[in-house]
Amino acid sequence: MTLDKAIKAIKQGNMILLYDDDNREGETDFVIPALDVKQGDIVRMRKDGGGLICVAIHPEAADKLGLPFISDILRSVSLDGHMSLRTIVEKTGDIPYDSHSRSSFSLWVNHRETFTGISDNDRTLTINKIGENVRDVLDGKKIDFGIEFRSPGHVALLRAASALLDERRGQTELSVRLAVMAGINPSMVVCEMLDDNTGNALSKEDAIRYSRRYNIPFIEGKDILEAL
């Protein structure tokens, strides 16, 4: 079963490909546990993916780390007189692929031991350390996220919806739910695969061909949903 292969792969710290849905973004993402990311994985994602390299975090960990949605930050700042931000956060319902109407984006961060934060080595360090913070805070340790990280930075944090797939069915929730199913640390790196020729998302067919060429498990969001 393809889902079993994908779960086995991420348990081993390896990469998989995850396609959300024909009726949503229609995108395939590279997905790999944050704790297991190596420099070569960043290289693959930026060269063969081309989308944003983000870390999706379980909502419980996000709450315990004090990581808000960026929309909530902007809404708060708009109340302090920054009127130009009010329209940004109050104009809702115009995300064409998502009736949830709120992006998963939280903060953008660099680890404090990075230089610029954008190099492959820097992003690897930042992502690994995010994974460690998620692991530790869920283990009951008291964590001050700001001691290790600065913002703005070059790694985007994504907060999964509170009810996960019962609330929202994006790559953020699918990847975090997959981690839960696998019994691993629920901090997952995701990166969209783009098409060099069309400029759009890589087609599902081309993503499947890529998975076969490099022996990387390919699954769809419906595979996860059907297993719940």
Q: Are 171 and 29 in contact (CB under 8 A)?
A: yes
- Residue of 54, 111, 185, 223 marked active site: 54
Per-residue pLDDT, 169: 78
Per-residue pLDDT, 127: 98
- Residue of 14, 120, 154, 210 marked active site: 154
Rounded CA-CA distance 108/157 in Å is: 6
- Give yes or no: 54 in active site: yes
Instruction: Describe the strand order of the beta sheet including 218-220 as a list of residue ranges.
Output: 105-111, 149-159, 54-57, 187-192, 28-33, 16-19, 218-220
Per-residue pLDDT, 173: 95
Total-model pTM: 0.92
- Residue of 20, 25, 192, 220 marked active site: 192
Q: Name residues whose C-beta falls within 8 Å of residue 186's C-beta, 6 or more positions apart in sequence.
A: 57, 58, 61, 134, 138, 160, 176, 179, 180
Question: Cis (ω within 30 of 0) for the bond into 152?
Answer: yes
**Integer angstrom CA distances of residue 44 from 82, 150, 196, 225:** 40, 25, 15, 28
Rounded CA-CA distance 169/177 in Å is: 10
Domains of the chain from N-terminus onward: 2-18+25-69+104-198 (3.90.870.10)
Per-residue pLDDT, 155: 98
Per-residue pLDDT, 94: 60
Determine phi and psi for 102, rounding to 5 degrees. -135, 130
Roughly how many angstroms between the first and final C-alpha of the chain, as a whole number? 15
- Give yes or no: 128 in active site: no
Q: Are 178 and 10 in contact (CB under 8 A)?
A: yes
Q: SS3 letters for 138-157?
A: HCCCCCCHHHHEEEEEEEEE
- Residue of 25, 41, 110, 122 marked active site: 110
- Residue of 25, 29, 36, 41 marked active site: 29
- Give yes or no: 192 in active site: yes
- Give yes or no: 197 in active site: no
**Integer angstrom CA distances of residue 95 from 20, 51, 81, 100, 143:** 16, 18, 26, 8, 34
Per-residue pLDDT, 22: 86
- Residue of 4, 90, 97, 200 marked active site: 97
Kindly report, residue by residue over 91-146, the tens digit of the pLDDT.
655 666 665 556 889 999 999 999 999 999 999 999 999 999 999 999 999 999 99
Rounded CA-CA distance 85/41 in Å is: 36
> Residue ranges of the chain with pLDDT lower than 70?
1, 79-84, 86, 89-102, 163, 166
User: Taking every pair of C-alpha atoms in the chain, what is the biggest distance, in angstroms?
Assistant: 55
